Copies of this chain bind each other. A is one copy, B any other.
């Protein structure tokens, strides 16, 4: 419940000061418990997103299997580029085909089968640099922040650009966030009965937009129905979600994680993987006066 992995400093002060302010009974800035909603981005905010999104590695592993079973598939230029890790090349060759190939990797699975496949792959994963399993890629200080918020009556949600079913498969184990408190990019599923049992089958169509940027705000409303007062992110895809919390009627806490720690993790600042042309989030944060967390200076340890 304490912020044991946080050094004394402005980020830690901003957090503890804010929590004290909005939870003080009778205080001018008191926020009722039901409105204490906190939203966290996932990739690069709660866990390490380098050298690549975990989910991208999972999807490519399946594509590799499919290409071995189906040689014609493996010879398509887009697929060859993908399997060489050249996402930019694949996108340049044919972005629509690339998306279709990636979405097809787990088409037709039931939602239960998908979760099982994700967990099976995750169990075998080791980080190429750190050698740790996926559970070792979580930021310990962020777990402490989530605990601190919960201990003060907040409800904590994950709002990820990643696939909602992928993050849900591990959200409870990693973060104590149950599946219904994860919002993310989703595929449509279709109702079916198999041997008398109701199943949901994954399609290859996105349900709505990829959950980045303005759609994060729309999906927060669709799922939560309330405006958050705490928002935590690390890239341009989180800007609108942070602004949403920032411009509500209650005092807000907007935190941006700066990856500036080459030694213990990576140094890539506010660079947005999925949206390289957007205003870097660290500039946006400076403009709005949001609190920047320096991984290097503010955290006494990074991983659990």
A residues sitting closer than 8 Å to B (CB atoms) are 34, 37, 111, 155, 157, 164-165, 168, 172, 178-182, 186, 188-191, 193, 196-198, 200, 207-208, 214-215, 217-218, 221-226, 240, 243-244, 246-247
Contacts and interface: CB of A to CB of B under 8 A. Distances in A.
A182 B180 CA distance: 11
The residue in A180, A182, A240 that gathers the most chain B C-beta atoms within 10 A of its C-beta is A180
Q: How many copies does the complex hold?
A: 2
A218 B191 contact: yes
Contact of A189 (B178, B180, B181, B222): B222
Nearest to A178: B34
The 6 closest A-B pairs by CB, nearest first: A179-B225, A191-B214, A197-B247, A180-B224, A198-B244, A168-B225
Contacts of A180: 37, 155, 157, 180-181, 223-226
B172 A191 contact: no
A207 B222 contact: yes
A168 to B, nearest CB: 5
Contacts of A224: 179-180
Nearest to A225: B179
Contacts of A197: 247
12 contacts: A164-B225, A165-B225, A179-B224, A179-B225, A180-B223, A182-B225, A188-B218, A191-B215, A191-B218, A198-B243, A198-B246, A207-B208
Contact of A200 (B165, B168, B217): B217
Contacts of A198: 217, 240, 243-244, 246-247
B221 A200 contact: yes
